[in-house]
Amino acid sequence: MDAVRSERHQGLALLALSLISLGGSALLRDLAPDVNLCGVKALFGLPCPFCGGVRATAALGQGSLLEALAWNPAVTLLHAGMLTSGAALVLGRTPPWLTPERQRFVFRAVVVILVANWSYLVAVGR
């Protein structure tokens, strides 16, 4: 019983975190649309794997999936995973990508996604 309650609380926290970041980023975008928040890009002139992530999150918060994907596909996938995982945990289910048998595969997939995402961001000149 306590384990189920704990998973539901984790799911609610995950949902809340994603929804708050979506709303907060959308508000930030309205208040300061031209602000660049990436220190890596400012220092080295190259984007980090999360460059455009705030703008992608803001676009999602404003309902623009295609714009979010254009800004940063990995951050967009991250939000989809957070929302899906949170909802599954609240409903008492374990998301299939969180099972112990799939942890190694998920880790490798995340690494591939981050490298591909960074390559995309460099190619489009983020």
Q: What are the tens digits of pLDDT across the range 7-44?
A: 777 777 777 777 777 766 666 666 666 666 667 777 78
Predicted local distance difference test score (pLDDT) of residue 8: 77
- Confidence check: pLDDT of 69 > 90: yes
Say how far apart CA 32 and CA 65 lie, in whole Å. 20
Q: Does an H or E element contain 2, and which?
A: helix 2-31
Predicted local distance difference test score (pLDDT) of residue 120: 92
Predicted local distance difference test score (pLDDT) of residue 34: 64
Q: Are 62 and 26 in contact (CB under 8 A)?
A: yes
Predicted local distance difference test score (pLDDT) of residue 70: 93
Domain boundaries, the chain: 2-124
Candidates 106, 105, 121; CA nearest to 49 is: 121
